[in-house]
A and B are shown apart, each in its own frame.
Chain A
Amino acid sequence: MKSKNVLLIFERKIMYKPIIYRLARDFDIIFNVLEAKILPKLEGRLILELHGTEESIQKSIDYLIGEGVQVQTLADKIVRDDERCVHCGACTSVCRVDALSINRTTMEVDFDHEVCVACGLCKIACPVNAMSGASIDLD
């Protein structure tokens, strides 16, 4: 089993069409809604954690794209500048999903991209401006 966090953007013309339920019914995907925002008559935004085999995750993403959903992989959205990061740990207190966590042996901050939901809070918490990239709530 694999896991992947994705941001789905439903434009106005498809935002009231039932699509998500088919991920479970047709592709055997276990999905978990991490965040959802619906701007009535404008746009819907959904962050999903997809659990399944690598093949079923890929097929479900292809299906979503076929339905006109914009799919963005969250693991690629927030990046850390390893030259700037000093491993102070300030970001770990705001990270909602523990994508940023302290390795208790090295006391360094580990960044697990696969778990990141691109909320962007680390960008506000980082004192040395090491975190960048587009996030859901900000910019």
Chain B
Amino acid sequence: MRIPAFMTVHTHQEREHTMSGVEIKKSYEEINKKIEEGKAVVVTAEEMPEIVAREGADGAFKKVDVVTTGTFGAMCSSGAFLNFGHTRPRIKASKVWLNNVEAYAGIAAVDCYIGATQVRENDPLNMVHPGRFKYGGGHVIEDLIARKRVKLKAVGYGTDCYPLKEYEAEITIDDLRDAILFNPRNAYQNYNCAVNLSGKTIYTYMGILKPDMVNAAYSSAGQLSPLLNDPFYWSIGTGTRIFLCGAAGSVVYSGTQHAPGAKRGRNGIPREGSGTISVIGNMKEMDRRFIRGASFTGYGCSLMVGIGIPIPVLNKDMAYFTGRSDKDIFCQVVDYGSDYPSNNGRTLGEVSYTELKSGRIEFMGKTIETAPLSSYPMARMIAQTLKEWIMKGFTLGVPQTPLPTVPYGRQHETG
């Protein structure tokens, strides 16, 4: 009997030959054995460039087993599946609110999905521009993780098997049967640097942008960012074990808008928003330090998420990639005054993360002040925490379904 390819689960050995044609010189099994024995050499993506510069990609490959990464920033495509347990009598909730923020309830009786950008009922929104968006789904998620009391309200239309029509309770996360963070698009591999060429101040998800390109905002951890360290997703796929807001989570699949074919540099690293991942984790195990409900004036609510991914140094090329630093990573400067809202695809040029992180860039004949929106200190703390986890025995997940990718070929040079 022939088994369809999609039904086979790859073993460690098989994977070594099949995954995107990637040459695996150091196997997951080998690395995990070292981790279990406490012998693995683990460094952060901030420490790796120096090792590669000193010992070359080959030397670094032989020396280092795992490179840890981290990022902490607003990731709007986030939310949580909650199950509040069957009520007595039973209710088939058709609408659910938590602290007056609506959660999507068009799934089973007491299941719902609270989205990060959902604003509370009767929020004035942008009626008086710019609105403040003080509380939304992201804040509910943060409050649950912080084990604060949250007001739950559910309404149903009543059925023979689910007669109750209204239910209200004050709950904490511990009263929920399940609370699963499930974010359909996180950890964007690179992102725009936003400026404003228009004549008035604009309020965006990239923060407040002053007119005539007075300031620029960027939102990537650069050299520490997970997907920038494995630019072709050789080690990231369904089943990759990650740090998610302080808990051990997993990569589920590629994220929405995953775009491996984006513009890349000669070093293979994307120069614009490209790869994304969807991630999952148990909210009950998460740590409030690594998650924040967010309000962007004039834009709306969101959720700041902390993610760290361990990158196994499978071969020499992976050592090269993880050894890249901010000066090797570029992003596109985009006008959010007109080009971004009209979606005309225009970019104004490129800058490196070294330039962005210096606090000012020289661009189009101007000196422009830069400010980040993603927290580099938090990214650093996450990469460091994940490094400590691995040194204490947190093993790597073997990706079962790789993310769609493009070949790493002659157009790219490993410098």
Contact = CB atoms under 8 A, between A and B. Distances in A.
The answer to whether A and B come from one shared complex is: yes
A92 interface: yes
Given A86-B375, A88-B375, A89-B372, A94 B294 contact: no
B359 A102 contact: yes
B297 A88 contact: no
B294 A127 contact: yes
Interface size class of A (residues with CB under 8 A): 20 to 34
Contact of A90 (B369, B371, B378, B380): B371
Q: Is the interface of A mostly helix, strand, loop or mixed?
A: loop
Interface string B366-385: 00011111111110100000
B217 A125 contact: no
Contacts of A86: 72, 292, 304, 375, 377-378
Interface stretch (A32-40, A53-61, A72-80, A104-112): A104-112
Interface in B344-381: 357-359, 369-378, 380
A104 B358 contact: yes
A121 B210 CA distance: 12
B371 A93 contact: yes
A87 B374 CA distance: 8
B302 interface: yes
A87 B296 contact: no
A17 interface: no
A124 interface: yes
The secondary structure that dominates the B interface is: strand
B304 to A, nearest CB: 6
A128 interface: yes
A84 interface: yes
B304 A93 contact: no
Contacts of A84: 292
Contacts of B370: 93
Given A104-B357, A108-B377, A92 B371 contact: yes
Interface of B: 72-74, 130, 132, 134, 207-208, 210, 215, 217, 292-297, 302, 304, 357-359, 369-378, 380
Given A88-B372, A90-B217, 15 more contacts: A86-B292, A88-B72, A88-B373, A88-B375, A89-B373, A93-B208, A93-B215, A93-B217, A93-B369, A94-B208, A106-B377, A121-B208, A127-B373, A128-B292, A128-B293
